[in-house]
Amino acid sequence: MHSSTQADRLPADASVKLDHVGVGCNRVVHALHWGEGSGLLAYGAHNAVAVYHPEEARVLGTLLGHTDVVTCVRWLPAGHGAAAALASGSGDCTVRLWLWTPHTPHQPWRLAATLQAHTAPVTSVTIHDTGNGGLLLVSTAGDAEAVVWERDAATASSDDAGQALGQEAWRLRQRIPLGHQLQHCSALAPLPGDPAWLLLALGGVDGGVRLYCCPPGGLFTAVCRLEGHQDWVRGLDFAQVEDGKLLLASASQDKNVRVWAVTRQQPDASGNGGCAASSGAADPASLAQRLTRYAPKPAIHAGRHTYAATLEALLVGHEDWVHSVAWHPPAAGLGGGDGGGATATRPACLLTASMDRTMMIWRPDAATGLWMGEESVGDAGANHLGYYGGGWGPGGAAIAAHGFTGALHIWRRQPDGGGWLPQHALGGHFGPVVDACWAADGACLLTVSADQTARITTRMHGGHWCEIARPQVHGHDFAAVAALPAGAGAGGQHPGAAAARQAGNAAAGPAAAACEEGRQRYLYASGSEEKVVRVFEAPRAFTDTLAMARGRPDGGGGARGAVLGALLPALGLSNKAVYQEDGEEGQQQQAGNRAAAGVGQSGGVAATGAAMYADGPDLAPHAAPSAVAGPPLEEHLCQNTLWPEVHKLYGHGNDLYCLAADPAGRYLASASRAQSADAAAIWLWDTRKWVGCAQLHTHTLTVTQLAFSPDGRWLASASRDRTVAVFERQPATAGGAGAPEAAAAAFRLVGRIKAHTRIVWALHWSPDGRLLATASRDGKVKVWRLGASSAAAASEAGSNGSAPAAALPSAPVATIECGDSVRSVQFAPVCRPGTSYYLAAGLESGALQLLQLVADASSTPDAQPQQQQEPTFYRHQLNGPLCPGWVQTGLIDSWVARGFALPLTLTPCDLWPHLHGRTLFFMGDSMMLDFFKAAACFMIEFYKGPGLDHEPLTDDEELQADFDAGQLMYGRALLLLPRVARPTDLLVVNFGLHHNSSDYAQHLVGFANYYHRHQRTLPRLLWQQTSQQHFQTPAGEYPGGKPPFQCQKLEHFSVVGGGEIVLEQGFEDPGDILHGAWRNKLADPIMRKAGIPILSSFNETLPMADMHQNNGHDHECTHYCHPSAPQWWLAALYHSLQNLAPAAAAPG
């Protein structure tokens, strides 16, 4: 193989395009919004924002940029320099603004601005058009502040959409302190008689609705608080209705919705100086007004007018938490357009969404003024747990909601103005997808997720991708899945099904028997956080649905005795089979409903969508498994597409971790989590009898992935112990003429090599079986080729009539640096054997790299690796669909360039023996919290192993690592340690950043004396030096306030032997920063006198002062981003532990 000189791009005969995105909505209240102008749905999908086209039922794009879960999305009013724009808030404490630029199809969405003012996750975003192009954006967050951003009208005149909504266009107008009460929601509107005055409503955990008023060009000030709710307020929305009132709706976890009216007060006709509310109603003595006449009327003073906020209505009808409220959008002819937010006049019609699995539409009665629930839509299935949010489509012709399962639910008004009909909506997993494979007929994507569901997605006959089955809804998070080839596992059919099929086919006649005989049998095995491998077989309902998805007729209903589908019993984990005759009663009643709806049925196949039942699928009586002829609805997927469980395979002692099936379906391999060699055994299962036939012992820690070669001859395994093993299948031994079936073939260990320096996450065989690719946390993909063993072994193999023996190579034929931890690798299924291969590498950052391996024409496929040149890999960086991330290779490159080799040579296996059987405690200030995070990240592969299961010292999860004050350190933290720690444990402490020079020495002496008196009952103590501070202040000290901060550059020094820092001639130390600063000068002598070892990390990490990166503190100079200074601290910790006590035995 040779290095190609082609440009860094895909060859002309290869292309890549995104064909399908399936992802669920985040389970937060404000994660969904339907744009009035664009007609598109936007929703939070993990760290991304998904833009969904409801008419085409597909995701148009995912907006990547947030580094934490997206908690809220909101479309901007139309007409602001772009075809569409939206704002999103996230757990990363930022609000981001996105622009849709359809004239650039290669990148139709781009980030316009990032607004960062919060210090806690953002909980809501609301936007108001102030007129003439001006915008106000209000966000709330967990930091108990509401932040107001302003986009000036002058900026909006720019023709460039990026400039009109760019970073420079926004300015922070106001911070509104909210005390200690978290606010979940916000709403903004102008006062009806004074449009230049704005009214802001905030709702939160205290059950009240706070109102703030803002004069033109001024700041928001608190005016009143609306009381009434008895639990958290989760949703708010303003609307100016036809009669001139400004209505505010509030949703609460007390199961109620309250409608508040803000009306302008007018002088009382009696002339006594009082005020009377001008409601705008034709009948001032209506029943609704008489009921609220004596209700409290908080006053809102706005310039020349005074307004009163009164309770208009209490809406009682939901039976569980109400999460969202939304007013009907402006209707045609009512004026106002869609660009002015609440300034547009709207119908008095309110949509509410609740966890009781319903959405209700409320309107006031024309005669009495009382609000009534007129319509309701929702889910009747047992697997639905309610809605997190709902909203109106453009013009109010459709409504949408997102629920507990992450699915989108869409209803559209019937053309004749009748009821609401459900519409198919594309969905996906709402938890991390942990494994995937191609299943069934080879064109179905089977995925399993931490959301405890298995889903099958395929391309329909018309080209549309959609989910067609949810074969397993489990009670545990999934870990692995493997599909068996069609027709495999002769012993896999459901117990008793074979006899029933035979009897049913005999009664039904030859045609049914022939159909049954020709039907493909699809099976898959799954593993989860349990010790059992579960095997499932596709029922008739799925095979018929799949046939229609491929444009073929279904199987005609099948014979009696066939497995139609499955049901999951209450509190059960195993799907139970439902036979053909079991579902006939329900099918007959469904047929009656379809006849009532005027819908025909052909071939025993249920209709799809709204035609399935007279009242829609949500009210389906006696729901039963059935085939559908189109994209199924969420209700059908949840209830009627389960596969029956046909086998459970017992043997593992720990939770399952990975699975693989051989290409012929003869064997199934499985492995579980392991901390010892015995538990790391690979189990082989015979699929003819579904029994264990072998255990393969070679690894010492968890096997992370298994892979059979395409011809089934080889089985490769990767492990956390950094090794890769290859087993060879031996020929089966046959008995005499009267002997039973040949014994299962044995697998012989070919070899085991240390393939990588970090965990090996994945491996895969090339389609011709000649190459094996491995991927690791060390950021590399390596390609190996099995070579021939010694001549003597080959001769012996030939004399026995067996295939020539093989051996693992000592070195890979190719090594590719990917720049980040590689979690998966796959060869493309088509190649030019021995000449050209394509690979895909999935990175931990969420990116995908496409690689091509090219061989020299003179090289032969069987050439030895040492005779080959290094191949060339063409690398193509693609953004991951959900998890963008930054790669730390730049920092590591800087270390190498500067000669910083210390942390690069330290591995978790070096540190592990010193921590085995111990608990390592970190206590102190925020520097120690960074140290704790770095250690947890560094030792992640041994996490939850012996000695690393840390016990929380308090109920506060953060305090176990960050005791935030010296007083707390002495008064509580050390007193708690004897209860949870042992003298053999380890304790690393530093609290220097929380003390000033006046009291630090006194606290140090008190701490050292306390430890000296109680050291027999306390863990072994290590004192961590305080890191350098170099803020832009005279002494480099923390200046106070909030980030971002400015740093002064540290230079003109060198570190000599013994760690002493020497300044260049002619330069002075600013504020004694470089010589350890005053904290270490005080602490080091006291700790040495008390006999407490010191982690001398100050001088070792000082040269990195200009390398710290943004870690959430912006340029806050005390903190470092892993793997920067904290990794140096780990190296110092390692050298200190070597001097404390003998290490335990290393784990392999």
* More confidently predicted of 49 and 341: 49
Are 668 and 660 in contact by the 8 Å Cβ rule? The answer is yes
- For the CA atoms of 686, 689, 692, 694, the dihedral, rounded to the nearest 10 degrees, stands at -40
Polymer length of the chain: 1148
> Distance from CA of residue 686 to its chain's centroid?
36
**Identity at 175, one-letter amino acid code:** R
pLDDT, tens only, 560-597: 457 888 887 766 667 788 876 655 555 555 455 444 43
The neighbour count for residue 846, using CB atoms within 10 Å, is: 20
CA 832 to CA 827: how far, in whole Å?
A: 12
* More confidently predicted of 860 and 437: 437
CA 649 to CA 531: how far, in whole Å?
A: 9
Angle between helices 1125-1138 and 908-915 (to 10 degrees): 50
Enumerate the β-bridge partners of residue 287: none
pLDDT, tens only, 174-199: 999 998 888 999 999 999 888 889 99
* Predicted pLDDT at 228: 92
Instruction: Report percent pLDDT > 70 for the chain.
Output: 66
pLDDT, tens only, 34-63: 998 888 999 999 999 999 999 999 999 899
* Predicted pLDDT at 949: 37
Which of these, 173, 152, 175, lies nearest to 164 by C-alpha position? Answer: 152
Q: How confident is the model at residue 334 (pLDDT cuts 50, 70, 90)?
A: very low
> Distance from CA of residue 651 to its chain's centroid?
32
Rounded mean pLDDT of the chain?
Answer: 75
Instruction: Report percent pLDDT > 90 for the chain.
Output: 36
Structure tokens at 601: 């049925």
DSSP assignment of 544-579 equals HHHHHHTT----TT--TT-EEEEE--TT-SSPEEEE
* More confidently predicted of 773 and 926: 773
Biggest distance spanned by C-alpha atoms of the chain: 120
Are 81 and 37 in contact by the 8 Å Cβ rule? The answer is no
* Predicted pLDDT at 109: 86
* More confidently predicted of 639 and 246: 246
Is the N-terminal amide bond of 1044 cis, ω within 30° of 0?
yes
Sequence-separated (6 or more) residues with CB below 8 Å from residue 557: 580, 603, 604, 605
Structure tokens at 338: 């869609």
Q: What is the mean pLDDT of residues 796-825?
A: 74
* More confidently predicted of 123 and 992: 123
Sequence-separated (6 or more) residues with CB below 8 Å from residue 799: none
Assign 3-state DSSP to the chain and report helix, strand, coil percentages, each to 5: 20, 35, 45
CA 991 to CA 973: how far, in whole Å?
A: 12
* Predicted pLDDT at 282: 43
For 939-1034, where are the alpha helices, taking DSSP H only?
966-968, 974-980, 1000-1014
pLDDT, tens only, 882-907: 222 333 334 444 444 544 455 556 66
Are 1022 and 1095 in contact by the 8 Å Cβ rule? The answer is yes
* More confidently predicted of 711 and 1058: 711
Q: How confident is the model at residue 1092 (pLDDT cuts 50, 70, 90)?
A: confident
* Predicted pLDDT at 1058: 45
pLDDT of 1042 above 60: yes
First to last CA, the chain: 35
Sequence-separated (6 or more) residues with CB below 8 Å from residue 592: none
* Contacts by 206-215, CB closer than 8 A, 24 or more apart: 206/181, 207/231, 207/232, 207/233, 207/252, 207/254, 208/233, 209/233, 209/236, 209/248, 209/250, 209/260, 210/178, 210/183, 211/298, 211/300, 211/309, 212/176, 213/300, 213/301, 213/302, 215/302, 215/303
Helix or strand (DSSP H, E) at 411: strand 408-413
Helix, strand or coil, per DSSP, at residue 930: helix
pLDDT, tens only, 373-422: 999 998 766 566 789 999 999 989 999 999 888 899 999 998 877 789 99
Exposure string over 225-240, b if 16+ CB within 10 A, otherwise e: ebebbeebbbbbbbbb
- Which pTM does this prediction carry? 0.70
- Domains of the chain with bracketed CATH: 181-423 (2.130.10.10), 433-493+513-599+622-647 (no CATH), 698-732+741-878 (2.130.10.10), 890-1029+1072-1138 (3.40.50.1110)
pLDDT of 969 above 60: no
For 995-1139, where are the alpha helices, taking DSSP H only?
1000-1014, 1077-1089, 1098-1101, 1125-1138
CA 645 to CA 179: how far, in whole Å?
A: 54
Strand pairing of 305-316 and 299-302?
A: antiparallel
* More confidently predicted of 443 and 267: 443
* Predicted pLDDT at 866: 32
pLDDT, tens only, 488-535: 655 544 444 444 444 444 433 433 333 443 456 899 999 998 999 999
Q: How confident is the model at residue 1095 (pLDDT cuts 50, 70, 90)?
A: confident
Enumerate the β-bridge partners of residue 410: 400, 423
**Identity at 825, one-letter amino acid code:** V
Q: What angle do CA 575, 579, 580 make, to 5 degrees?
A: 140
The neighbour count for residue 207, using CB atoms within 10 Å, is: 18
Enumerate the β-bridge partners of residue 602: 605
